Structure 1
Amino acid sequence: MKGNQSINLKTYLNYMFFSYTVYEVTAKNEATNEFLRHLQSNKEFDFWSKINKVGKPVSVMTSPKVQNEFEKYLSSHGIEYRVQIEDVQSTILSEKEYHRSRQALKHKKISFDQYLRHAEINAYLDQLAQDYPETVTVSPIGQSYENRSMNIIRISSSSGPSSKPVIFVEAGMHAREWISPALSLYIINQLVENPNNSRLLEDIDWIVLPSMNPDGYEYTWDVNRMWRKTRSPGVECDGVDGNRNFGFHWMEQGASDRECSDSYAGKEAFSEVEARNLRDILAATANISAFISLHSYGQYLFYPYSYDDVVPDNWQELRYLADLVKDVIFAINGTKYTTGSSTEVLYPAAGCSDDWAMGGAGIKIVYVFELPGGGEHGFDPPPSRILPVCAETWEGIKVIADYVAQNAKKIQ
């Protein structure tokens, strides 16, 4: 049944994470990575970050059932590891309690010291459309599986039809990555409510989709904080990884055909209505010059392609611009990003929205931000870190915007 179904107590208790531990494991050789890949099919392990190149850390949550055996294996094979989070549920509970206390304050204006629910996100967009009708237009691109409105906000200084290049920002694909929608709202806030950024509207129009997976996102608030996929029903397990569901090299490397996998690509390309909604708005929008997808975590800045170890014709341009962005972000707080294609830096992941944006929709400037994580908070920085992460990343996105404005004819 679609809609906001009530959740029974048994279901809720199934997603408590008392004594679940997150380990940071550093592979010393490819054999270790092969061991980690093998664990991805085991439901007692939940990989919070992508399996990395040798020498790079990987974060994985383990159930209490397997922790002793897991530690023994790592120690006996000389694999470096450390406990990143001792008890995941205690972190989740403290996060929930903080947001309950903040929601009680009933801010009239948006604040970047808390994460917002899907309805609150849409309410903020609607408020901006009301307050800034000359700049802001809000419209739905469709409904999610559970009939939540997927709204985009178009920000433009042009009162009528515009031929300016468009930057399209997509956020919230993976439900548990809360910092992703938060950053999209910060981008919107800076473009609409900060007059110091008015120059960024002179030569560019912006479209932002803050909530790509609203059903999964709400599920992380109400039931399972660790949920990643959509909420469409399956036979054995529910949901599809939206970022494996796009129809450019669908179901190739890095995608799973197992329903219970977090990287399950679906029964077919674009099986998920959320992926179809994004595909259709990209096709219907003229002059998109840049597409930015926001994820967490890992401090990576990727450009296509993700499906295999291949790069687009303009890879040198993409690398050059990515390095400019990386340097600007580093200069602010010392945050270090790694740049490159997904397969160059990590591993193949076919069926992603960034590959579709370039290979399917023909957009030339395409990036994926894997934003900083929260250390002991996992996917998302604690509330005190939301604003610093958003502010430093925004400076990098402004670099992309300036490049698009200066090179509009070449990249359209």
Structure 2
Amino acid sequence: MEMWSRTVVLLLVTTTVTCTPLINELEPGKDWPPRNSVKQPSDYEKETSTFAEKEEVLPTGNPIEEIDEPEEVVIDASQPILRNADSWERKVDYSGAQVWKVSTERVSVLGVITRLRRRNLISTWGGNHSSIDILVKPNAIANVTRVFQRERIPIDVVIDDLQQRINDENPPLDANEIELQDRRGHRMTWKQYHRIEDIHGFMDYLAKTYPKIVSVNSIGKSHEGRDLKVLRISDGKPTNKAVFIDGGIHAREWISPATVTYFINQFAENFDVETDDIKNIDWYFLPVVNPDGYEYTHQTDRLWRKNKKPTRSARGCVGTDINRNFGYRWGGRGSSANPCSEIYRGSTPFSEPESKALSDFIKNSAANFTAYITYHSYGQYLLYPWGYENAVPADHKDLHDLGNRMAEAIKQTRGSSYQVGSSSGLLYPASGGSDDWAKSQGIKYSYTIELSDTGRYGFILPTSFIEPVARESLNGLRVLASQVAKA
């Protein structure tokens, strides 16, 4: 495959910054000094007024773009209603729903999938240029099967009962693990997917236990008022570079916050014996960018993707895709103006409190950010900008080389193969992403990493995968740290 369709040169805006040491007498997080904001690229203001008023145009020419303009998933009234202990909303039950992998090598397949999607018979999961995973609703299986048979489209049933897979995904801890939680002083285990309360409690515990290197700060609030907690690990050397890592932008991607918190635990608990590459970096972690959506996946709808801020939709559709809301090339290909779409871009750039808080923090921080990594799932891809268009930045060879070395370290751990390339070239155009925005701010090493697996479990990755996936990802991160340290 030809990776580079054309090259664009972007003038990166940089600011000379310094890193200040921790002031341990202050409360955790109070020692992060501000700096002047970095001005957005010049075309940002132009696009803000242009895209905000555009009518939505269905993208063409790419398998995922072609179909990823979904209407809001409607809860089938024929399904049993399960009461949620934390809210009065009905709990979405996926009993009998299936996940199929469908080859998209034939162009005609895309039209079939688009029609089925618009009739609300299927929804889309992951995919690339050769295949796509679709969720087929239980009352539509016979109908969709007949359509595929008539069109001679082969299918591979990957999950034959989605609700059963959900039921088995996150079993309760056994008595020994619960006892160990009590002795540790926090509830994080990496043998279970934890709620936001456990994640934030774990971060606070580390700040109290290791005050010389760990501090915690809330950089803002979600729409529903939950803290956006960032944890910093630093020995305070003024020469340190900085790396920002986040997870949980998309609510249903549970392996992402689990992996990011694993990194936090490894660095905090073992900092004294870590390599100089790790020690010479100020590490900033935001494990859950979308806490409202993340909690909603635990309480009500396991497959919810967006945040929970209401939109101005006449149909009452809720939520914006935070990863289409960042203000660099906002509103372009691979995003939607339809509030009922799963890739709804929001009313304006940074209209969502979560994306605005993250961007404001990075722009106003005194840290010398050299790398930004956002963890997602699934598919096993290591992606770099640009996402907004099938183009690459001027330094794409540097990004590709480092990505390959990170992928090799991951593979050496347990054999997992990650594909490396630009987001738009390897997958599909998606504008308004956080990695494109970070790159536009002058952060050289900006990546989106799509974690395991490649589709057997998809978003419903069992807890037995947490530690293996996090461990191999940590080895990839160490390669990046080595590059950052000498950059």
Decide: shared fold, TM above 0.5.
yes
User: Residues 73 and 228 from structure 1, CA distance in 2 versus in 1: closer, same or farther, beyond 3 angstroms?
Assistant: same
Which of the pair has more CA radius of gyration?
Answer: 2
1:343 aligned partner = 424
Kept in 2, the 8 Å contact 1:253–1:307? The answer is: yes
The reply to whether residue 80 of structure 1 matches residue 154 of structure 2 is: yes
1:89 aligned partner = 163
Write out per-residue CA displacement over residues 53-82 of structure 1, whole angstroms, 9 at most, x where no aligned residue: 13xx32111112322222222233332321
Tell me the TM-score normalised to structure 1 length: 0.91
Kept in 2, the 8 Å contact 1:156–1:201? The answer is: no
1:410 aligned partner = none
Kept in 1, the 8 Å contact 2:230–2:284? The answer is: yes
Identity %: 36
Counterpart amino acid of residue 396 in structure 1 = G
User: Residues 324 and 213 from structure 1, CA distance in 2 versus in 1: closer, same or farther, beyond 3 angstroms?
Assistant: same
Q: CA deviation at 1:375?
A: 5.2
User: Residues 163 and 337 from structure 1, CA distance in 2 versus in 1: closer, same or farther, beyond 3 angstroms?
Assistant: same
User: Residues 331 and 103 from structure 1, CA distance in 2 versus in 1: closer, same or farther, beyond 3 angstroms?
Assistant: closer
2:100 aligned partner = 23
1:231 aligned partner = 308
1:166 aligned partner = 242
User: Residues 150 and 105 from structure 1, CA distance in 2 versus in 1: closer, same or farther, beyond 3 angstroms?
Assistant: same
- Listed as ranges, the matches of 1:152-231 within 5 Å are 152-158=230-236, 162-194=238-270, 195-231=272-308
Write out per-residue CA displacement over residues 179-228 of structure 1, whole angstroms, 9 at most, x where no aligned residue: 00001001111111124425343321110000100000000001000100
* Separation of aligned partners in 2, 1:264 and 1:349: 11
* Separation of aligned partners in 1, 2:202 and 2:473: 21
* Separation of aligned partners in 2, 1:406 and 1:38: 52
Residue in structure 2 matching 1:139, options 193, 214, 217: 217
1:404 aligned partner = 484
Kept in 1, the 8 Å contact 2:168–2:462? The answer is: no
Equivalent residues, number: 395
Cα RMSD for the two superposed structures:
2.1
Counterpart amino acid of residue 133 in structure 1 = P
User: Residues 99 and 20 from structure 1, CA distance in 2 versus in 1: closer, same or farther, beyond 3 angstroms?
Assistant: farther
User: Residues 248 and 37 from structure 1, CA distance in 2 versus in 1: closer, same or farther, beyond 3 angstroms?
Assistant: farther
The reply to whether residue 309 of structure 1 matches residue 390 of structure 2 is: yes
1:279 aligned partner = 359
User: Residues 150 and 99 from structure 1, CA distance in 2 versus in 1: closer, same or farther, beyond 3 angstroms?
Assistant: farther
* Separation of aligned partners in 2, 1:79 and 1:24: 11
With a CA cutoff of 8 Å and minimum separation of 6, indicate the structure with the bigger relative contact order. Answer: 2
Counterpart amino acid of residue 172 in structure 1 = G
Q: CA deviation at 1:102?
A: 8.8
Kept in 2, the 8 Å contact 1:18–1:90? The answer is: yes
Write out per-residue CA displacement over residues 122-146 of structure 1, whole angstroms, 9 at most, x where no aligned residue: 1000000011000001000001000
| 111-120 or 35-44: bigger deviation | 35-44
Kept in 1, the 8 Å contact 2:320–2:346? The answer is: yes
| 289-298 or 244-253: bigger deviation | 244-253
* Separation of aligned partners in 1, 2:180 and 2:304: 27
Q: CA deviation at 1:283?
A: 0.3
1:379 aligned partner = 459
* Separation of aligned partners in 2, 1:101 and 1:145: 36
* Separation of aligned partners in 1, 2:310 and 2:250: 17
User: Residues 405 and 16 from structure 1, CA distance in 2 versus in 1: closer, same or farther, beyond 3 angstroms?
Assistant: same
* Separation of aligned partners in 2, 1:39 and 1:105: 49
Residue in structure 1 matching 2:339, options 259, 274, 287: 259
Kept in 1, the 8 Å contact 2:170–2:192? The answer is: no
Counterpart amino acid of residue 332 in structure 1 = T
Q: CA deviation at 1:6?
A: 5.2
In structure 1, list runs of 5 or more residues that go unmatched.
408-412
* Separation of aligned partners in 2, 1:16 and 1:374: 24
Q: CA deviation at 1:31?
A: 2.8
* Separation of aligned partners in 2, 1:200 and 1:353: 25
* Separation of aligned partners in 1, 2:135 and 2:394: 38
| 385-394 or 72-81: bigger deviation | 72-81
- Listed as ranges, the matches of 1:7-156 within 5 Å are 7-8=87-88, 11-13=89-91, 15-50=92-127, 52-54=128-130, 57-98=131-172, 107-108=181-182, 109=184, 110-156=188-234
User: Residues 284 and 81 from structure 1, CA distance in 2 versus in 1: closer, same or farther, beyond 3 angstroms?
Assistant: same
* Separation of aligned partners in 2, 1:314 and 1:343: 16
* Separation of aligned partners in 1, 2:331 and 2:479: 34
Q: Which runs of 4+ in 1 moved over 4 A?
A: 37-42, 99-106
Kept in 2, the 8 Å contact 1:157–1:201? The answer is: no
| 228-237 or 372-381: bigger deviation | 372-381
- Listed as ranges, the matches of 1:308-327 within 5 Å are 308-327=389-408
